[in-house]
């Protein structure tokens, strides 16, 4: 779903709880929070109490240096930087230096991340936030030092760009996805752009010792598809990556039985296998072997020579790392989420392979919930929790943060227990 689709969907949504409260003119003194979900591929931003984020853009920035010639008004001359974001940056990679600040779920380039946050908060759909309360997500794999650094950039560095964060919470994205499903215990299996995680959660707390992850997700499927197309002599390269991603999202699916699927005839009619590149760059034929092969690595990483477990395997391993008493609850409450889980056939294959793995050990049925807005589940959970009247008590206040610099790390870690 791109930014235009998101705006259209917003217009058609029924009134949110917040709209209703506003129209009833109730005078509830409740803070509004901005909710940001930081993803490797996409960053999502909107207001608490709403059903969907208002802005969702690829997590990428392009920078270009501009030399200013000396002139009458500025006889020194000098240089400044032009920065662009999201798809615009990806489409102008020939002119701009491109940086992806999040790698495999973890923020690695905080300076670029700061500019991305600033861009979102100043976005027209966000009414240019100069001062706000913020709930921001964090990967379940992040080290606590990353949270401390996030707080530092959000409280201190954004101020240099005229944005003041009044209160802040940083929450585990998997806990928020589970919250969006209406549960407080279960296992969240999330496959996004850069990473797939299996995070068991008990009564709202992630169980760190049993979290499993693999560096295999949507971007690997996209690059695998690109390699297969190039191997067939089709003229595409990295500069077409947005289109390769779109081919994946529109045409690829997961086979229940891979060998059978690629050795059978193509289930789609010829015209449904064609993708037209823009600017008369040609039409690509994407046959069923390429389409099924692109996604198979998620369930069988060996096909690309990777000696790592599959997605069903990490879910199984994660459940078996937990206390025996909890395992039944986890098997009964599996939340499948993240953009990559939207691939047709993903849920059926996941369920089939997990049944096979657990056939002799699970003492219960396996129940998988896919009824969430899967690309936005962490954001939606954040929107819900930040609209609770008790949420403000769970935040770090800028005043406390600034007054006690020596307590920064403690203050962050004490509040951010999820």
Ligand X SMILES: Nc1ncnc2c1ncn2[C@@H]1O[C@H](COP(=O)(O)OP(=O)(O)OP(=O)(O)O)[C@@H](O)[C@H]1O
Nearer to ligand X, 385 or 411 (CB): 385
> Of 6, 34, 36, 41, which one interacts with ligand X (CB under 6 A)?
41
How many residues touch ligand X under the rule CB under 6 A: the total is 21
Q: Contact letters (x/-) for ligand X, 209-238, by CB under 6 A?
A: --------xxx-------------------
Residue 253 is classified by DSSP as -
Binding of ligand X by 245 (CB under 6 A): yes
> Of 135, 163, 195, 354, which one interacts with ligand X (CB under 6 A)?
195
Binding of ligand X by 368 (CB under 6 A): no
Binding of ligand X by 42 (CB under 6 A): yes
Nearer to ligand X, 375 or 415 (CB): 375
Q: Encode 58-94 in three state secondary structure.
A: ECCEEEEEEEECCCCCCCCCEEEEEEEEHHHHHHCCC
Contact 205, 418 (CB under 8 A): yes
Pairing of strands 164-172, 131-138: parallel
Binding of ligand X by 343 (CB under 6 A): yes
Pairing of strands 368-369, 334-337: parallel
Burial of 356 (0-12, 13-18, 19+ CB in 10 A): exposed
Distances in Å between the Cα of 1 and the Cα atoms of 5, 126, 220, 327, 374 are 6, 19, 19, 35, 11
Nearer to ligand X, 309 or 362 (CB): 309
Pure H helices in 213-254? 218-231, 241-251
Q: How far apart are CA 351 and CA 357, in angstroms?
A: 10
Window contacting ligand X (CB under 6 A); options: 13-21, 192-200, 226-234, 285-293 = 192-200
Binding of ligand X by 350 (CB under 6 A): no
What lies within 8 Å, CB to CB, of 379 at 6+ separation is 35, 37, 44, 46, 52, 53, 137, 176
Window contacting ligand X (CB under 6 A); options: 24-32, 114-122, 125-133, 193-201 = 193-201
Window contacting ligand X (CB under 6 A); options: 73-81, 206-214, 254-262, 337-345 = 337-345
Nearer to ligand X, 133 or 224 (CB): 224
Secondary element (H or E) of residue 165: strand 164-172
Both tokens of residue 208? Answer: 């760190």
Binding of ligand X by 39 (CB under 6 A): yes
Nearer to ligand X, 327 or 377 (CB): 377
Find the shortest distance in angstroms from Cβ 245 to ligand X: 5
Q: How far apart are CA 230 and CA 308, in angstroms?
A: 25
> Of 119, 375, 408, 415, which one interacts with ligand X (CB under 6 A)?
375
Which residues form the interface with ligand X (CB under 6 A)? 39-42, 105, 192-195, 217-219, 245, 248-249, 338-340, 342-343, 375
């Amino acid at each position: 779903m791109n930014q235009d689709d998101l705006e259209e969907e917003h217009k058609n949504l029924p009134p949110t709880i917040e709209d209703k409260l506003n129209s009833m003119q109730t005078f509830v003194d409740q803070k509004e929070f901005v909710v940001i979900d930081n993803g490797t591929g996409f960053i999502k931003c909107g207001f608490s109490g709403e059903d969907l984020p208002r802005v969702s853009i690829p997590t990428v920035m392009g920078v270009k240096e501009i030399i200013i010639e000396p002139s009458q008004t500025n006889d020194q001359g000098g240089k400044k930087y032009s920065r662009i974001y999201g798809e615009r940056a990806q489409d102008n990679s020939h002119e701009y230096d491109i940086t992806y600040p999040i790698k495999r779920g973890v923020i690695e380039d905080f300076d670029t991340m700061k500019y991305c946050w600033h861009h979102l908060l100043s976005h027209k759909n966000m009414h240019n936030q100069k001062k706000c309360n913020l709930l921001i997500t964090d990967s379940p794999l992040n080290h606590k030092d990353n949270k401390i650094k996030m707080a530092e950039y959000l409280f201190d560095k954004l101020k240099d760009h005229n944005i003041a964060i009044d209160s802040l919470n940083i929450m585990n994205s998997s806990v928020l996805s589970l919250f969006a499903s209406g549960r407080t215990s279960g296992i969240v299996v999330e496959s996004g752009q850069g990473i797939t995680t299996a995070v068991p959660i008990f009564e709202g707390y992630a169980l760190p010792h049993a979290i499993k992850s693999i560096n295999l997700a949507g971007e690997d499927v996209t690059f695998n598809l690109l390699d297969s197309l190039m191997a067939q002599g089709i003229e595409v390269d990295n500069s077409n990556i947005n289109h390769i991603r779109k081919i994946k999202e529109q045409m690829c699916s997961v086979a229940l039985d891979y060998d059978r699927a690629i050795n059978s005839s193509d289930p789609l009619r010829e015209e449904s296998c064609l993708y037209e590149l823009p600017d008369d760059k040609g039409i690509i034929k994407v046959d069923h072997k390429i389409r099924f092969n692109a996604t198979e690595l998620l369930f069988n990483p060996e096909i690309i020579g990777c000696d790592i477990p599959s997605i069903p395997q990490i879910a199984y391993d994660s459940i078996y790392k937990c206390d025996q008493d909890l395992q039944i609850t986890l098997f009964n409450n599996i939340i499948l989420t993240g953009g990559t889980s939207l691939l047709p056939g993903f849920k059926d294959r996941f369920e089939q392979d997990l049944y096979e793995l657990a056939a002799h050990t699970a003492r219960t049925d396996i129940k998988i919930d896919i009824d969430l807005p899967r690309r936005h589940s962490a954001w939606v959970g954040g929107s819900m929790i930040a609209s609770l009247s008790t949420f403000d008590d769970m935040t770090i206040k800028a005043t406390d943060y600034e007054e006690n610099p020596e307590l920064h790390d403690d203050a962050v870690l004490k509040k951010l227990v999820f």
